[in-house]
Structure formats: C-alpha cells, structure tokens
Structure 1
C-alpha cells in the first residue's frame, strides 16, 4: 500500500497491510475495551474530547503538512481543516451530555417511562482521502463520546494521515482500543463488517462504495450511515447580486481543488443574467493560482491521484465532444504532477457527463434557466441529493425554493458546508443517515425505551 505525492508523483511511503492475525487482535481489543468505555461517565468522555481539540491545535502545522503531502490539499486549507476538527471536538465536549440525556415521555399515571440513548459497540468507519482528517473526526468524536469505540479503514493514499489521527487520540489520553486504524484492502472490508463484534458501519465515499458497504451491512443486519456523492445545484436567480455570487461560485466549485462531495457542480443561472455570469465566472476562475500546495498563495492544488485526473479529463473531453463550450481551462496542465485548472463549461448538453455525472475536480457546468420553477426542476433532475444553494436578493423567495429542492442540505445566499451544530446528510444516491449535531451523535446509539411501574 503506497502513498504518493500528487504534486510530483513521487512515492512517499509504503505500508504493509495488516495481517488477519493483526485485524483479529484489533477487533478483540475493541470489543473488550467497549465494555469498560461505555461505563465511563459522559463527563469524562467530554473531557477527553476537549483534550483532543487541544492536541489538534497544538499539532495543526504537522497534520496539515501530512495532508498536503499525501493528497495535495493547499496548505492553508489543510490548516483550516485541522482547526475545524478542533472546533468539532469543542462542540461535543460542551453538548454531548445534553444530546444524550434521557428523554422523559409520559405514558400512564404511576409509571416512569423514558428513552435512554445507549452506545452500540465497535463501529467501523470507511473514510475517503479528500478530507482525510475532517471526515474521520466528524464520525469519531460523536461516536466515541456517545460510548462507542471506533475502527478506521482509511483510504490507502492517506495512510500517513490515518496513523497521525490514531496517535492524536492516544496523545489526548483516550484508552488503548477506543480508536484504532486498520490497514486493509477494500476487498477485505466485507469480512470485517460480517464480524459479530462490529455493530455498525459508516462510510463517506462514492455511491458505488456505498452500495457495497450497504449490501454487506444489510446481509449482516448492521446499522449504517452513508454520505455519498453529489452533484449540487448552485441556483442564481435574476435578482441575485452578481459581485457576491461570482465570488461564492468560485469558492464553491474550487475549494479543496474541486474534490468535494458538497461542491457546487451544476450552476443553474437565470437567462437574464446567464451571459454576464458566465463571463465573470470564467474570468474569476482564471485568477486562481494553480500550483505547489505547500505554497500559501496557492488556491488550487493537484488532483489527488493520476487516475482521478484522467477520469476528470475524460469527462470534460466527452462533454466537449457532445457540444459543451469551454469558457476557460479544459485540459490538464503540462507540468509534473496531477494538475487540472479551474474550468468553466457552458452550452452543456443534457446527456453529457458534465450534466449527468459527478465531476470530482475543479470543473463547473453552467446551464441557463427561464424561471424559478425550471431552476427547481433542473436542480432535482439528478440521482444525487446531497446539497444545494440558492442566491437571490429576496431571502423569502430563496427559502421557498430551498424547500422544493430534494437534498439533505440547502443554503440560501451561502455556500453549502457542514457545521457541527447542524445535522448533515443526503438523500437518494447521496446516502442516508445524519452526521453532526444531536442527530449525528444519536445515530450510533440504541434508543431504548424503559418503563418502570411504581
């Protein structure tokens, strides 16, 4: 299992997959640790979450550099990712007991009836490379604070991040076995899911990977939470303030070098401002700096792997062959590493890849729409349902449209983002279940009804 620097395509490190014997030891220790961990007072688990946040902040530069080396994230965005993880820790250090407190429910006179939220046990997390710290902490902090133990199967190109995360939990004072990383290949995941000691599974990744994990989990009756792909609509109404909207559009499409499930991918622009938006959007995208991700002035780094660059390039070429117009960008940069420039496509045919597939890179497809109704229809014309946003000078008008968009997260006059205080998840082929907030911490608990007769 090899990690490679995507900015240079030079090898970084080689990792040996864990043997079946090592995996058995990890599973056994997780099962044993859970019996004690679940009994720890919630205040103690909250205190450890706070300590975890302190460790993250004190080592932010080191963790960010590891991310940048392994998957090419621009260094300032990598630092921001670590800081966001620390904020998540603070949130659950403050709010977990509140979210998990017993819920009293009236039933009959003379009875005590309530719901108790109790941990499930060892939870397997299958995590992606694009946010190699945030995706893991978004699962692990609420799950562990609820009393579960966590096992991580990370993407093979960010195993240095996986090891750093495991060490982070150790440094924060978590008991051995509460959180562990398993270095295994994808074809071994189903066997781990089938193990009786695994009680639940969560995955962030592609719809294809989600189907495989859901099938294996369903066969073994394991609870799952899936956060999958997206093709988020970015709706620009006729009254939207274009100065603000264009800036937001550039960020929404090119953040993390465009490698984001909740990135805006389909820009649905009212025909009265479509031409101006396309021209300004393309010009602004051209101003982004593409280059060395370790340079703080870089806006867009490399694509994380060579095969991902090739797939993105193929999708763009097939879209252009079908009739799409390249306003800017449109082909890989002629330099070492996996660099693809910010790209804007217009005149996009309905059945080409830019319209029907998820483009996981800095490529925006712009479509004209004639009305609010047409914008909603186009927004919902996808197999995905992760996020979306609406831009307008009339917030009430935007909210009315937001309610009609089939997605797990819709923002008005703001780019789509995840926030520890709010639940996050998708519908349709973007997955199911919630992460974050009180909804997320209760996903991996047993909502147990208790009835006490007096």
Structure 2
C-alpha cells in the first residue's frame, strides 16, 4: 500500500513548497506508546528540571529565526518584514510560562485543622494532543506546548497541513535541547487518523485551534470519553471608538489590527463601531492609512500585505465584500490601487466598507481577511448592543481616554478579553479564552495551567490516638 503524502501549496506562487509523508496507523501507535512511556517518567521530574529543558528548547528555536522567517512566508504568506515578530512572541510566551510554573503548580495549603494535614496538588494529565492552526503557527502551538511540558505532560503536536514544517521545527528544537525520547513528537496525520487519535485512550487532553466546524469534529471524535478539550475557534472581534478617543492613535492601531497578517489573525479587528461625533474624521484617516499598504510577494522586504493563505480563502472574502455591496454597503478603496490584487489568486487588496449593517455576513460571520466594516453609532449603549450581537466572543477593544467609562463598558462586553487602547495582542499574563462559539477552556497565564493539570486532594490524619 502506497504512503499518503501531504503537499503544501505555497500562497506565494502556487508551487508545491513541501511534500511530506502522512503517518500510518502503526507510526501513530508507536508515537502514542513512546509518549506514554516518556510521560510516566517525566511527571516525577522537578520544576527546575522541566524549566531547564523548556529554556533550552526556546533558545534552540529562537536560533532558527533566519530559517523560520522565509519558511513562514512560503508556507502561509507572512511577509518576511514581520516574520521575526512571531519568533519574538514565541520567546516572550515561552519564558513567561516557564517563569510562573513554580507558583502556578505549587501545592495549595488549605489551612490548619487540628490532627490533620491537608493540601491540594496539581497533577499532570498525561499525553496532550495539540492540534494547531496555520495563521500564527508558532505562537498558537507554544501556548500549549511549553506549559504542558512544564506541567509534567508529554505532547504530540499535529499542525495544520498548511504549515507542517513548523511542527518539525518544534521537534528539532526539542531534540537539540536534549528532551527524553517520546516526550515531544510532531506528527502529520490525515483527518481520519486525527479523529482516531483523539478517540484513543492514550490521549488525555486535546487542545484545538481552528474553525467552529473543526471544533465540532473534535468534540464528536472525543464523544464517549471523559477527557478535557480546549477549543479556540472562530471570531468576529469588534472595536468601539468613543468621541473622546485619541483618533490618530486609534486609526494607526486599528488599521494594523484589521490588516496585519492579511487580516488572518484570531483576534484581528473585523468590525468597527465609531461614534457619530468622530466618524467622518476617523473613516477618512483610516482609508488614507490603508491605502499606504504594499501588497505583494511576502519574500519582498518592502511588502506590508502578503497573500492570503490560499486562493479559496481570498475568493471567500471577495464574496463577502460583493454580497455587502449588493446589500447597500460602499467599498471605499479602489482595488486598482493594488495591482497585485487579482481574482483567482490569494492576493487581495485591503478593503473598507461603510453603510454596513448586521444583516450582512461581513458584520456577522468570520471573514479572516483584509476587509473591515465600519458602522456609525450614537452612544455607548448602541455600541455595546452591536458588539455583543455576534455568535463569537474572543476579544473586543475600546478606544477612549476615559478609563472609568471603559471599565463600565468592559463589564458589559461578552468576550474573553477586553482591551482599552490596544488590540490584536496576546499578553501571556492573561488567560487566552473565548465565549459562545469561540470555544472553551484557556491557555497561558496561571489559569492556563489549570487546564493542563488536574487537582488532587491530600488528607492525612496525623494523630490516631
């Protein structure tokens, strides 16, 4: 029987950038057995030993930066001008989660009780299956991989078929760091075998980042098993610009939040609500800045907007734009200003839509591309209602100089994170989590460790007479 292969079609030029064999059932079986064996020993190591390995792994990966950046461009289209940012973010998150591991995993003293000793410990779950997405392949994976290892687990990483070389970079860095055999493994699997692996009793937790449909598939595959599942799924992140906002600052940050990574960011800005008092000024400045982007090959250091991950993704976004325009929206950027933007390719110009409403998919359904809809609102209350009018809830951002007003609005926003005067950023000190169809569970911060461990109670009677 011939070996199935995974072909990576590059968004740069449509060429086959890499071709890798998919794992067989026998190879997956071996990987699972090795992970169980390695974890049985690893769970008894000290936090200091785990930290030493995690830091060596981090240093090994960061040393690959010059190879990783162009590799990212070829696999998913990130301009080389920005690829280094993912490496820096990787290092920040990895080091932070190592730094807080001792405190986060420490035993909890529940207080004195005469004649007894009682405490709660955090026990590792076992083997963690991480299924990561392509849009920030290193950042998404490191959110799970490093804290899972620090918590005493073994990890198997199955990355998106668009960026399989990223998983292999993790494996190389762990090998260079001297990780025990089987403690970490990268594996390329078909959808069918991924589902079988989720159902395998040797897997103790699944961390998935991807689409809502993908999340449902993961839950279905795990049906009948009492294991934890972490899901980071779709998003339609909103922003609200109040009349007292620093408008130039808001424009600069929201344009970047909408168009960075060609709009393919989990917490990218997808819909903006701007107070009527500053609406015209904001829209004018937003368009002016958006027009300065350079769309082109991600291998060109001057490019600030690369291709979308694949032609079908660009076609989907074009469809949302066209549907909105048919429904009465106005597109304010002439696509001719971006000669590289052509139908039938993954290259797509940035677009700003006004006269939009919540009957349009572009304001309701995830776009994941370089287009933003801007609506005029008359009050905080209207903005809150519209921001919450979504099946998703990852992040929201508020743009104001009034901290008290922002805090009051924050309390009414239905998302996992609310920003004030920033967006499209993940602080490793805070839990990365969502509500509604965005998913469940959390990564990063002290809270993230709670999902990669289980509590164990210890109750000792120390006097029997």
Question: Shorter-chain-normalised TM-score: which range?
Answer: over 0.9
Matched, 1:93 2:101: no
CA distance in 1: counterparts of 2:219 and 2:378, whole angstroms? 39
Query: TM-score if structure 2 supplies the norm length?
Result: 0.95
Alpha-carbon distance in structure 2 between the residues aligned to 1:294 and 1:176: 36
Matched residue, 2:59: 54
Q: CA deviation at 1:69?
A: 1.0
Distance 1:57 1:162 in 2: 14
Deviations along 1:218-254, one digit per CA (max 9) or x if unpaired, are 4312101111111011100111111101001111101
In structure 2, the partner of 1:183 is 188
2:369 equivalent to 1:361: yes
Alignment of 1:34-433 (within 5 A): 34-106=39-111, 108-329=113-334, 333-334=341-342, 337-433=345-441
Instruction: Give yes or no for contact 1:231–1:357 (8 Å, CA) kept in 2.
Output: yes
- Cα deviation 1:423-444 (Å, max 9, x = unaligned): 1110100111111011112211
Shift of residue 107, structure 1, vs aligned partner: 6.0
Q: CA offsets, 1:10-54, max 9 Å, x none?
A: 111211211111111111111111101111111100111111221
Contact 2:317/2:367 (8 A) holds in 1: yes
Q: CA deviation at 1:288?
A: 1.1
Contact 2:270 2:363 in 1 (8 A): no
Question: C-alpha distance in 2, partners of 1:329/1:60?
Answer: 36
Point out where structure 2 has 5 or more consecutive residues left out of the alignment: 1-5
Are the equivalent residues in 2 in contact too, given 1:34–1:122 (CA < 8 A)? Answer: yes
Distance change (3 Å), C-alpha of 1:329 and 1:213: farther
Q: Please report how far the alpha carbon of residue 329 of structure 1 lies from its aligned counterpart in structure 2 after TM superposition.
A: 4.9
Q: Is the 1:323–1:349 Cα contact (8 Å) retained in structure 2?
A: no
Maintained 8 Å contact 2:61/2:169: no
Taking the aligned partners of 2:388 and 2:112, their CA distance within structure 1 comes to 42
SS at match of 1:328: coil
How many aligned residue pairs are there? 454
C-alpha distance in structure 1 between counterparts of 2:274 and 2:393, whole Å: 19
Any conservation in 1 of the 2:342–2:348 contact (CA below 8 Å)? no
Q: Distance in 1 between matches of 2:49 and 2:174?
A: 14
Q: Distance in 1 between matches of 2:184 and 2:394?
A: 28
Distance 1:352 1:257 in 2: 21
Partner residue in 2 for 1:434: 442
Q: Which moved more, 1:193-202 or 1:333-342?
A: 333-342
How many angstroms apart in 1 are the aligned matches of 2:45 and 2:53? Answer: 11
Aligned mates of 1:266, 1:362 — CA distance in 2: 11
Q: Which residue of 2 aligns with 1:443?
A: 451
Name whichever of 330-339 and 408-417 sits farther off.
330-339
2:3 matched to which residue of 1?
Answer: none
What SS does the aligned partner of 2:162 have? Answer: helix
Quick check: 1:47–1:93 contact (8 Å CA) kept in 2? Answer: no
> How far is 1:379 from its partner?
0.4
Find the aligned partners of 2:379 and 2:82 in 1 and give their Cα distance.
36
Q: What SS does the corresponding residue of 1:417 show, helix, strand or coil?
A: coil
- Between the aligned partners of 2:417 and 2:34, the Cα distance in structure 1 is 37
Native 8 Å contact 1:409 1:416 kept in 2:
no
Shift of the 215–107 alpha-carbon distance from structure 1 to 2, 3 Å rule, reads farther
How far apart in 2 are the matches of 1:222 and 1:296? Answer: 45
Work out whether residues 429 and 444 of structure 2, in 8 Å CA contact, stay in contact via their aligned partners in 1. Answer: yes
Shift of 1:336: 8.7
Question: Aligned-residue CA RMSD in angstroms?
Answer: 1.5
TM-score w.r.t. the length of structure 1 is 0.97
Per-residue CA deviations over 1:40-97 (Å, capped at 9, x if unaligned) read 1111001111112211221111112211110011113221101211122222332211
Higher deviation after alignment, 63-72 or 105-114: 105-114
Alpha-carbon distance change, 104 to 330 in structure 1, aligned in 2, over 3 angstroms: farther
Distance across 2 between alignment mates of 1:66 and 1:188: 27
Aligned residue for 1:133, secondary structure, equals: helix
